[in-house]
Amino acid sequence: MVAFLRWVLLCTATALAMSCVALGANDEPPATKPIKPLQRVPETPPAKPMLPGESVAIARIPKALQAAVLADARVCVAGKRCLPYIQSARKVTWSDGSMGCPQPGMFYTQALVPGYLLVVSDDGDEVHYHTDTKRAFIRCDQALSPRAQREQANPSAAPPRPSDPITRPKTPAT
């Protein structure tokens, strides 16, 4: 133990002595450069979110699907009649049967659904329709994440925790 303490004392003394060595005549202190103030990065406007899928000609969309979507779009806000038209179309593959627009309390197939994202306009107002390739469509004013769906359903309620008796999995009584 005494030998160990001597060794630690020797190392400490050596380190202390080496730190006290003065600079030699040829040694110069490191040059200091003036620090430039940071330049403010110019703010850029937020980018418009890109729509999924690839653009497709409107003529390639089945006529029955176009007619059904436009018929639904003709009834506008407050029942006002309007003359909508398909502004753009994109071919997409939806990740499940909700076609990118899940609704609270609904269950959907868990299979890929090929379809279209149609942007219908009435000279100013845009409405997004999510469709399959044949006849099904959903007017999707806002695609909600699962968390946003819960908050929209009951904004004052906190999300359930796994320890809550309601959400805890039931086990058979033994």
Res. 77: pLDDT tops 70: no
Query: Average of pLDDT values for 1-6?
Result: 82
User: Cα separation of 81 and 76, whole Å?
Assistant: 6
Q: Which residues of 120-132 are buried (b: 16+ CB within 10 A; e: fewer)?
A: bebeeeebbbbbb
139: phi then psi, degrees, rounded to nearest 5: -80, 115
pLDDT confidence band for 140 (50 / 70 / 90): confident
Q: Which residue has the higher pLDDT, 123 or 137?
A: 137
Q: Is pLDDT of 25 > 60? A: no
Q: Residue 46 gets which letter from DSSP?
A: P
More confident residue, 49 or 114: 114
